[in-house]
A and B are shown apart, each in its own frame.
Chain A
Amino acid sequence: MLFNSYEYLFLFLPVTLAVYFLLNRKRLTTAATAWLVLASLFFYSWWDVRYLALILASILFNFGIGSALAVLGRRTAAGITAKAVLIFGIAADLSLLGYYKYMDFFIVNLNRFIGTDLAALKIVLPLGISFFTFTQIAFLVDTYKGRAHEYDLLRYSLFVTFFPHLLAGPIIHHKEMMPQFANIRRRVVNYRNVSSGLFLFFIGLFKKVVIADELSPIAGFGFDQASSLTLIEAWVTSLSYTLQLYFDFSAYTDMALGASQLFNIRLPENFNSPYKSLSIAEFWRRWHMTLSRFLRDYIYIPLGGNREGNVRTYSNLMATFVLGGIWHGAGWTFVFWGFLHGAAAVLHRIWTGLGITLPRALAWFLTFNFVNIAWIFFRARTWDDAVKVLAGMFGMNGLKLSKSAAKYDVLRDAGVQFGDLFFRSFANSAPLLIIAALIISLVARNSDEMARSFTPNAKTAVFAVVIALYSLLNMSRMSEFLYFNF
């Protein structure tokens, strides 16, 4: 079920909320927890009920492993160490993820490099598997380290399946979530939270419907359908995707955080105006923050972090980013995207170590354009598509302007082409939309900042009504969120 669907907005969310608080009001707290779990599983299986068994099995398995780790502590029992149990649990989780996400990629590459002729299995990626797998891996590690324990299956199920974060994060920690559910005061309707939650939710809905979905066809056409792109077309294509991805994913997060707040549960923030970053390191402190946190805590630091000299630090950074790329998708373009970011992070570390600082404007310019170019590999379905966009961006297919500019001899003499730019036929205001989206992402306060300073008054009420009404009445097509693909 999508956050921007009519079923979710008009039926699922209000009913789930109402019944949850009604049960709590009657002091049926266990029933309320069970209700939330059932509702979350219903939410998940709305997409495809066949995968309900998968998530249930994953929950049971990880709960079992977590219980065993909690009981074992750091001891050994029957010759089995806690560490062995942990490794087994993580390996099983990654195997599940590997099968569903990477098996066909593995087969295709095996055929390509070894010359076998195995048929692809055409496995459909279960929605949210990357997220609920990582969430549970984090739980297992935290349990092993004594930072978390959960002895109640129902509560554990709620931790994993709580619907606002289930499909595309934020990736949460057990210790930041479960105390909130256990807090009896949070089981009573808090209208302050409801108002701020709705405010944030509506901002997210607006970002998704009005900005991200309007940019989507422009990026889609440029990347997937155009046979070649001239200079302006290529930049419009790449910037459309760069902005679409941010507004789409951050919109999802806003709606997740907003919906969660209705239940008096605070999810961790995931974005902090990442395109304002002045370095790649800063970018990853602002973009998909919970994933960065996971990669840092469960990959980079266990590899040694920055504690074992420069060379090891650089290789740890590179490994972390490449794995981050692989996590996003089964494709060499994702691996390359991860590699690019790893290389940029290493480079940044080197020049920071040398004491080099750049003027703010230059630092921003380099960071933004690097990120923008790297996203091309993230989005392109094939290397050819990526090269197509890059070639256009660097002027290799020339410059095309609209026919009205043909009257200027100087342009004709300079070899400028004249004709209709591809986006004119279906998104005439594409440049304006891109500029507006850029301004919002670079200058305006982000949604979390707005939510933090939220005060329930007439001004915020009017604002909320206007953006919500506009979004609800212009949901022309229910598009999936981009991060559902990961």
Chain B
Amino acid sequence: MMNMRPILFRGNTAPWTGKKWVLRVLSSLVCGILVMVLGNIIIDPYGILRSDFSLQVQEPNTHFIKIKYLLKNRGRFDSFLFGSSRVGGIDVKKIPNGRFYNMTYSEGLPEEHLRNLRYMLEQGVKVRSVMVGLDDFSYRVDPRSHDFDLLRQQHPAVSGKSWITFYSEYFVRFGRFIPSLRDYIRQNVLHRPNRSGMIIIQDVFDSGRALCLNCDEMIDRDPDAHRAADKFSKPFHYDGDHLDVALQSIRGLVVLADEWGFRLTLFINPIHRTTYLDTDLPLMFRFKKELAQISDYYDFSGLNTVTTDNYYYHETSHFRERVGDMMLNRMTGLPKVFVPKDFGALVTKQNVDEHLGRLMRQLPAQATAADRQRQRTVPE
């Protein structure tokens, strides 16, 4: 009769010596781990080891990559724009007076900006000017949630994590290996286009931004269809309350600016209407009020001509470069672009109550007024 037991287990009850068991198990483990490590190094989904991002298949961990790059190129830049991925919509080369680098990284938080900046200064990076973009989630996301987030964790020299742990997290893991491998093969072996049709290049070491080469063309082909897209009804939703942590970090930035003598400009990003109306507005207003006690800032959020027009956004989180230009014009005077009157206000300790009152009054009448205003806007 045929032996139906799997080959592996035929005669398996015969014991091995302890030494044989140990050697076979450990060598199997070592082989398994090495195969995984090699595969992860080749694919390197988060770009940890890359200096060339042409083969990058997903968003890299720019929290780590940019600090690594700056430490090797300390003299290249002397001014920095910190913020979440949203400030990736700002072309820092248009900012006057300074060699700016865009430090945009995914879900960047004030505490992270503070720690990065402090570390850069301690490592001898000269800083003349810093701009920091803040978001509706700046005070909602717990910075500790990024500690083991492969996309968002900080450079080990900044976070204090050991290098062994840091690299092991990326390379001794299975995790998303299969999807990453699939995407790697699709893009770099079969040369198939991105499913979304967008052509994105990671310009990490020059502008510091992820550049979409055909996004503007795709939107301008049919702006009305873009405006009506279903994605604009889905907010980017956040929970949590870490207001104290965020404000403390921002205070830290102000103190750092005083200590090291660089110019600090704070601003709140233009939050898309859908995401804005989904957020905890009382908490946001509290944040804005307390922020004004710490420093003046520009507020591009609220319901205005830009934030209520889907044309200016890729989805309900990220604004387009033309919005970034408007923001720069409001804050620095350049570049020379048309900026709607209701877009961007300089908020101070003295006028914050008035400003918040204006924002609160917007809320009931937001729908019709914004629609009327949009019809009068002259798109670029």
Contact between chains at B165 and A7 (CB < 8 Å): yes
Contact between chains at A458 and B20 (CB < 8 Å): no
Q: Which segment, of A26-34, A192-200, A297-305, faces chain B? A: A192-200
| A475 contacts chain B at the CB level, 8 A cutoff | yes
**Residues of B with C-beta under 8 A to A195:** 18, 21-22, 25
The residue from B14, B33, B164, B175 contacting A476, defined by CB atoms under 8 A apart = B175
Q: How far is the CA of A10 from the CA of B30 in the complex (A)?
A: 11
Q: Which of B1-37 contact A (CB under 8 A)?
A: 8-9, 12-22, 24-26, 28-29, 32-33, 36
B339 to chain A, nearest CB (A): 38
Q: How far is the CA of A472 from the CA of B29 in the complex (A)?
A: 9
Residue of B whose beta carbon sits closest to that of A473: B174
**Residues of A with C-beta under 8 A to B162:** 7
Q: How far is the CA of A1 from the CA of B148 in the complex (A)?
A: 17
Q: Which of B150-165 contact A (CB under 8 A)?
A: 162, 164-165
**Residues of A with C-beta under 8 A to B9:** 458-459
**Residues of A with C-beta under 8 A to B165:** 5-7, 478
Residue of B whose beta carbon sits closest to that of A477: B148
Residue of B whose beta carbon sits closest to that of A462: B8
Q: Which segment, of A71-79, A177-185, A319-327, A463-471, faces chain B? A: A463-471
Majority secondary structure of chain A interface residues (helix, strand, loop or mixed): helix
B235 to chain A, nearest CB (A): 14
| A460 contacts chain B at the CB level, 8 A cutoff | yes
A465 with B29: in contact, given A10-B164, A195-B21, A195-B22 (CB under 8 Å)?
A: yes
A460 with B21: in contact, given A6-B168, A477-B148 (CB under 8 Å)?
A: yes
The residue from B16, B28, B36 contacting A473, defined by CB atoms under 8 A apart = B36
Q: How far is the CA of A473 from the CA of B175 in the complex (A)?
A: 7
Contact between chains at B172 and A456 (CB < 8 Å): no
A208 to chain B, nearest CB (A): 15
Residue of B whose beta carbon sits closest to that of A463: B25
Q: How far is the CA of A196 from the CA of B162 in the complex (A)?
A: 30
CB-defined interface of A4-48 with B at 8 Å, one 1/0 digit per residue?
Answer: 011100110000000000000000000000000000000000000
**Residues of A with C-beta under 8 A to B13:** 455, 457, 459
Contact between chains at B22 and A465 (CB < 8 Å): no
A191 to chain B, nearest CB (A): 3
Q: How far is the CA of A438 from the CA of B188 in the complex (A)?
A: 45
**Residues of B with C-beta under 8 A to A5:** 165
Contact between chains at B168 and A461 (CB < 8 Å): no
Residue of B whose beta carbon sits closest to that of A456: B21
**Residues of B with C-beta under 8 A to A465:** 25, 28-29, 32
**Residues of B with C-beta under 8 A to A190:** 18
Contact between chains at B148 and A193 (CB < 8 Å): no
| A474 contacts chain B at the CB level, 8 A cutoff | yes
Residue of B whose beta carbon sits closest to that of A475: B173
Contact between chains at B18 and A193 (CB < 8 Å): yes
The residue from A456, A462, A472 contacting B16, defined by CB atoms under 8 A apart = A456
Contact between chains at A469 and B12 (CB < 8 Å): no
What band does the interface of chain B fall in when counting residues whose beta carbon is under 8 Å from A?
A: 20 to 34
Q: How far is the CA of A5 from the CA of B164 in the complex (A)?
A: 9
Contact between chains at A198 and B32 (CB < 8 Å): no
Contact between chains at B25 and A191 (CB < 8 Å): no
**Residues of B with C-beta under 8 A to A470:** 174
Q: How far is the CA of A475 from the CA of B174 in the complex (A)?
A: 9
Contact between chains at A6 and B25 (CB < 8 Å): no
Contact between chains at A468 and B29 (CB < 8 Å): yes
A458 with B12: in contact, given A10-B164, A194-B22, A472-B29 (CB under 8 Å)?
A: yes
Contact between chains at B32 and A478 (CB < 8 Å): no
A422 to chain B, nearest CB (A): 11
The residue from B12, B22, B28, B36 contacting A459, defined by CB atoms under 8 A apart = B12
Q: Which of A215-253 contact B (CB under 8 A)?
A: 225
Contact between chains at A457 and B148 (CB < 8 Å): no
A189 to chain B, nearest CB (A): 9
**Residues of A with C-beta under 8 A to B168:** 6, 10
**Residues of B with C-beta under 8 A to A478:** 148, 165
* Residue of B17, B21, B169, B172 contacting most chain A CB atoms (<10 Å): B21
**Residues of A with C-beta under 8 A to B28:** 461, 465, 469
The residue from B17, B147, B169 contacting A191, defined by CB atoms under 8 A apart = B17
**Residues of B with C-beta under 8 A to A462:** 8
A425 to chain B, nearest CB (A): 10
Residue of A whose beta carbon sits closest to that of B240: A225
**Residues of B with C-beta under 8 A to A225:** 239-240
Contact between chains at B175 and A474 (CB < 8 Å): yes
The residue from A191, A458, A472 contacting B22, defined by CB atoms under 8 A apart = A191
Q: How far is the CA of A195 from the CA of B13 in the complex (A)?
A: 16
The residue from A191, A455, A469, A477 contacting B33, defined by CB atoms under 8 A apart = A469
* Residue of A191, A225, A460, A470 contacting most chain B CB atoms (<10 Å): A191
CB-defined interface of B336-371 with A at 8 Å, one 1/0 digit per residue?
Answer: 000000000000000000000000000000000000
Residue of B whose beta carbon sits closest to that of A460: B21
Q: How far is the CA of A486 from the CA of B271 in the complex (A)?
A: 44
B305 to chain A, nearest CB (A): 34
A419 to chain B, nearest CB (A): 15
Q: How far is the CA of A290 from the CA of B26 in the complex (A)?
A: 32
Residue of A whose beta carbon sits closest to that of B21: A456
**Residues of A with C-beta under 8 A to B15:** 455-457
Q: Which of B255-283 contact A (CB under 8 A)?
A: none
Contact between chains at B20 and A456 (CB < 8 Å): yes
Residue of B whose beta carbon sits closest to that of A190: B18
CB-defined interface of A427-464 with B at 8 Å, one 1/0 digit per residue?
Answer: 00000000000000000000000000001111111101
Contact between chains at A198 and B25 (CB < 8 Å): yes
Contact between chains at A198 and B22 (CB < 8 Å): yes
| A and B contact pairs by CB, cutoff 8 A, 27 listed | A5-B165, A7-B164, A11-B164, A190-B18, A191-B22, A193-B18, A195-B25, A198-B25, A198-B26, A455-B13, A455-B15, A456-B21, A457-B13, A460-B21, A461-B21, A461-B28, A464-B25, A465-B32, A468-B25, A469-B33, A470-B174, A472-B29, A472-B33, A472-B172, A473-B174, A474-B174, A476-B169
Q: Which 4 A-B pairs have the closest CB atoms?
A: A191-B18, A456-B21, A477-B148, A192-B18
List chain A positions with a Cβ less than 8 A from chain B: 5-7, 10-11, 190-196, 198, 225, 455-462, 464-465, 468-470, 472-478
User: A191-B22, A225-B240, A477-B147 given. 5 additional CB < 8 A pairs?
Assistant: A191-B21, A192-B18, A456-B18, A458-B9, A473-B173
